[in-house]
Structure 1
Amino acid sequence: MTIAARHRLAVEALALSGDEQVLEVGCGHGVATRLVLEQLTTGRITALDRSEKMIAAVQSGSPDAGDRLRTIAQALEDVDWAGEKFDAIFAVNVDLNLRLGERWAPLLEGLLKPGGRIVLAFEAPPKSGKADGFAKPSQPRLEAAGFAVDIRAGEAGVTLVSAHLGQPQ
């Protein structure tokens, strides 16, 4: 199976050690979820998507994940997280600015453990300018929520927004 650069770069940017609690927002078919599962030893990934069909695809594509995988078929803002916290949260080609406006950065900040990190990967169509439209509003929203932010243009037209609570990593 060929792995798209956006999935690979997002998971690489997470810099996982294997014991983290990870949340993927908008997991789709689970390509990045499976990449994270390959790196987790004692950690767990929660794969979140609004689509029951996508959640079913993640489950069927990860039959050996066991307790390292939890799936939720709901919108991010509708989940009752009951105080749950994550070491890392990521999303691939999910424009949180468009869906949630200014609400998403504080929402994610509230789901992170101290020192937690966020990675957002966006692959815009060539010459569309959409990568800037994604990255530019993300930075001030994350900074207002207390994050140190780094934005990079990666290979294959993928824009990576990396954010850490507290000091930059």
Structure 2
Amino acid sequence: MAEPALADVDALAARAHAGQTDKIGVPYVEHVRAVAAGLAPFGTGLQMAGLLHDVLEDTPLTAEDLLRAGVPSAVVATVRRVTKVPGTPYEEMLAQIAGDHSAALLKIADNAHNSLPERAAQLPEAHRLRLAGRYRAARRVLWPAVGEADVRAVVGLVNPGLLAGLG
């Protein structure tokens, strides 16, 4: 089976997330597309992982389904690395992600999109403040794991306002 094109993986993500909305009511596929767009400087494989980064935890699809669909094993491995595992504390998951450059870049793009002020503003204040603290703590772990140039490349595309606090 030939490796799917980026458009094929986008269509797969759209089907997988069909009918889902994010916390502010936007079709969920728009979030994964924004994450993928932030990963463009790092190649098609990482963009594919961005499109698929939530399918294992938020849809019935499995890693085996992705492999059967022709998604490259390296892409599936990155998606698995950023997928929450029940019983694993968030801080431990972040430390594991930080040990893998591709996974860290993906999680940085995800964090940056989730931290957009216009998205956060639509959440209830208590929820917004809790998430803002969680996202700041995650950036303290993830950003040093990839280096400033890579942070600038991703965050500059997804949420440039976050760069104000960087060097």
TM-score normalised by structure 1 residue count = 0.41
Greater helix share, structure number: 2
Q: Which TM-score applies when normalising by structure 2?
A: 0.41
| Larger strand proportion of the pair | 1
